[in-house]
Chain A
Amino acid sequence: MEAAAEGTTTIDPRLAARAERRDLLTLGIEEEYLLVDAVEPRGVETVEAVLDEVPEEMRASVQHEYMRSQIEVASPPQLELLGLYEAMTKLRTGLADAAERAGSRLVTAGCGPAAGPNTRLVDKPRYHQMRERFGDLSPGQGLCGTHVHVSIPDEETGVRVLNHLRPWLPVLQAATANSPLFGGRDTGYASWRSMMWERWPTVGPTPYLQSFDHYSTLIADLEASGAMLDEGMLYWYARLSANYPTVEIRMGDVTPTLDDAMLLAALARALVATLLNEVRDGIDAPDVAHPLLMAAHWRAAKGRSWNGTATRSW
């Protein structure tokens, strides 16, 4: 639940030039984490204390999330997976150390596994405004996801990539499922966070888009409807970043290991690179019906314990 859009920011020109020379797309990750008590497994409201303990060199990469028992990091954009892995290792380790100095632990789970009281919102006007308008849609200790940013050449191309991405995202969601427990019990879902997250009015598969103008019009209409405060609340499973020249793939739980996160990042970039070729070759994206995408995302969240039969009708 990021801050309001502040206008598009460019990627460092030197990195962009290297990406161009090497024909690679830039890659970045945002991860949201739970803060739990040092002894008990319940969420604790230590985000301010943890931020106070974050080393200065990491500070620009760390920020609040929605609840006081959550915290978020964002990697700098990278060209190489190894660079991303090293950056994220430093962030995870540095933040885990900061959390311990603040009397808590950093936990990668999509939602709070253990029973415990609901924690409070971060004390920011935006979050209070969200609670006032949308009510208690995210009870518990916080919902934590992973967002992958992959660079795109321009917004019009990005919209076409979003269309092509639609049927692939349930697979990535299934691979990142990491929230079977909530409030101390097994929910019967591999990703219970996905089910809780769906309650927000703009969460769901990206619609099939005609153009960037269509995308922009939908955002304006959604804002006008009251279903989101601003573009920062556009929670489609893939979208154009409001702040960077990237597509943002954002349906996955935060994953326990960095290996899992790197796999998601690698697959996301490979997918976008492949789909960019399809866009350049003039191949139309399959217009998969929204209910079928919803069904596929539900199956991804349910996980292996579901024994239904797969169908394909597009």
Chain B
Amino acid sequence: MTILSDRLRTRGTGAARQRALLAKGVPVAGVVDWLARTTRGETERDENLS
């Protein structure tokens, strides 16, 4: 549970991560693409949005 809560703290909530993408200039369509890839677990290893 500690590992999971650490991951939430460093990555932020889903809302925070979506907004971080917008702040980087990613359009809404790109956010939806990120959500779709994250749903499949594809973004887990390489993302660092914190």
8 Å CB interface, B1-50 against A? 1, 4-5, 7-8, 11, 13-19, 22, 28-29, 31-33, 35-36, 38-41, 43-44
Chain A residues with Cβ below 8 Å from B16 are 190, 303-304
Chain A residues with Cβ below 8 Å from B36 are 36, 96, 105-107
The answer, yes or no, to whether A262 is at the interface (CB within 8 Å) is: yes
Chain A residues with Cβ below 8 Å from B15 are 177-180, 190-191, 303
Closest residue of chain B to A33, judged by CB?
Answer: B39
- Chain B nearest Cβ from A192, distance in angstroms: 9
Residue of B1, B17, B28, B31 near A267 (CB, 8 A) is B1
Given that A177-B13, A177-B15, A303-B15 are known contacts, is A266 also in contact with B1, CB under 8 Å in the complex?
A: yes
Chain B residues with Cβ below 8 Å from A266 are 1, 4
Residues of chain A at interface, number, CB under 8 A? 42
Q: Is the CB of B39 within 8 A of A113?
A: no
In the complex the two chains form, what is the Cα distance from A106 to B36 in whole Å?
Answer: 6
- Chain B nearest Cβ from A95, distance in angstroms: 9
Chain A residues with Cβ below 8 Å from B7 are 259, 263
The answer, yes or no, to whether A46 is at the interface (CB within 8 Å) is: no
In the complex the two chains form, what is the Cα distance from A263 to B7 in whole Å?
Answer: 9
- Which of B1, B14, B22, B33 is the most central at the interface, judged by chain A CB atoms within 10 Å of its CB? B14
8 Å CB interface, A63-120 against B? 89, 92-93, 96, 105-109, 113-115
Q: Is the CB of A107 within 8 A of B14?
A: no
- Chain A nearest Cβ from B26, distance in angstroms: 11
Closest residue of chain A to B13, judged by CB?
Answer: A177
- Which of B1, B18, B32 is the most central at the interface, judged by chain A CB atoms within 10 Å of its CB? B32
Given that A263-B4, A267-B1 are known contacts, is A114 also in contact with B13, CB under 8 Å in the complex?
A: no
Residue of A107, A190, A262, A267 near B35 (CB, 8 A) is A107
Residue of B22, B29, B35 near A109 (CB, 8 A) is B35
The answer, yes or no, to whether A186 is at the interface (CB within 8 Å) is: yes
Residue of B1, B17, B19, B29 near A256 (CB, 8 A) is B17
Q: Is the CB of A186 within 8 A of B41?
A: no
The answer, yes or no, to whether A29 is at the interface (CB within 8 Å) is: no
Q: Is the CB of B18 within 8 A of A107?
A: no
Q: Is the CB of B18 within 8 A of A262?
A: no
Closest residue of chain A to B15, judged by CB?
Answer: A190
Q: Is the CB of A113 within 8 A of B13?
A: no
Residue of A92, A181, A186 near B39 (CB, 8 A) is A92
Q: Is the CB of B35 within 8 A of A180?
A: no
Chain B residues with Cβ below 8 Å from A258 are 41
Can you list the 3 inter-chain pairs with the closest CB atoms, starting with the nearest?
A: A178-B14, A41-B32, A190-B15
